[in-house]
Amino acid sequence: MMTEMAAFFNLQIGRKRVVCPHMAFLTSKLGIDLGTANTLVFIPKKGVTIFEPSVVAIAEQDNKILAVGIEAKNMIGRTPDSIIAYRPMKDGVIADYRVTEAMLRYFIDKALGRWNILKPEVMVSVPAGITSTERRAVVEAAIRAGAKNAYVVKEPILAAIGAGIPIYEAKGHMVVDIGGGTTDVAVISLGGIVASNSVKVAGNKIDAAIADYIKKTFNLAIGDKTAEEIKITIGSAVPMEDELSMTIKGRDFLTGLPRSTEIKTNEIVKAISKELKDMVKAIKDVLQDTPPELAADIIDNGIIMTGGSSQLRNLAELVFRRTGVKAVIADEPLYCVAKGTGIALEHLDTYKKSIIAKR
């Protein structure tokens, strides 16, 4: 499978697309939620067709791409020195341009079918705090990966659209999108962002905090996948009376031998308290910058939470306790941004004010 994948990428690099003039009107449209942890591809009228980790496996010796997505993620922590399982996105932006381009090419081709001859229109989500240089890099990567046109829209706007929020009303809506690399907070009214904040604290930092706590408390080394599993299985944002527990396995720092131990929910609450505090502070900062009329709307409508990491147990309860504003997890929070890209692509004229970059 790995050699097939490498051969596929080599084929793509040298391949030129030929577009039949009679078929130009059939140009496909794709929405891409290009996340630090996962990439989702949304096709209008079909829904989310691809949901894979944003991971690429590279052979270091000849710099060849061996695998992308789920297959590459399964290699993390299990590869020989000659193979690197690599995340080309860091804190929501491109850390490695070439690898991101190859990853996008793979997802676009997989979504449309290998022999698709039409270049698609692509809309890509980006964090609220992205710079103009980082924005251009995303557009260029999408074009070079095979897009006919590329549009870039901020994640809170897309999350709001995907969550079914009427963003063009003269009302204030607050969206908190918590992904793998960033927490994006925005107050939206009349189709635009009135106040926003983006902090590089989200799911990945929570995983790292769990691994660090276990290292210091139990002298046990665990991998990223185990830390993520702990977060999902027993993690919580506030202490629980009926604690959950989990047996974890790792390598003992003192003996160097494999060992297992048990960990409980309230220990995880303690481990991730700093990260949660930073996320809540980002929400408070935006609330403080919000005009009074819109602040009143937010009290009525509540805070809408989207993104995979918003599903952490009792996170909405923590936000309510710290801000006094009720928080609600959107339906299918993991898919909100991806769904937003699809809806915006289908109604480009309606949402053209929200597009911050295009080519």
Name the pTM for this structure. Answer: 0.84
Instruction: State yes or no: pLDDT of 93 exceeds 90.
Output: no
Q: CA 180 to CA 87: how far, in whole Å?
A: 11
pLDDT at 97: 86
Planar angle of CA 265, 269, 273, nearest 5 degrees = 170
Instruction: State yes or no: pLDDT of 11 exceeds 70.
Output: no
Q: pLDDT tens across 298-357, in order?
A: 999 999 999 999 999 999 999 999 999 999 999 999 999 999 998 988 888 888 777 776
- Give, in words, the CATH class of 203-273: alpha beta
- Pair of tokens at residue 147: 């897009």
The residue extents of the domains of the chain are 2-157+338-358, 171-201+277-333, 203-273
The domains spanning 2-157+338-358 and 171-201+277-333 adopt the same CATH topology = yes
Cβ of 161: how many Cβ atoms within 10 Å? 27
DSSP output for 169-231: SSS-EEEEEE-SS-EEEEEEETTEEEEEEEES-SHHHHHHHHHHHHHHHH-EE--HHHHHHHH
CATH number among 1.20.140.150, 3.40.50.720, 3.30.420.40, 2.40.50.140, domain 2-157+338-358: 3.30.420.40
Q: CA 66 to CA 212: how far, in whole Å?
A: 31
- Give, in words, the CATH class of 171-201+277-333: alpha beta
Q: pLDDT tens across 133-166, in order?
A: 888 999 999 999 888 889 999 999 999 999 999 9
Q: Which residues contact 133 (CB under 8 A, 6 or more apart)?
A: none
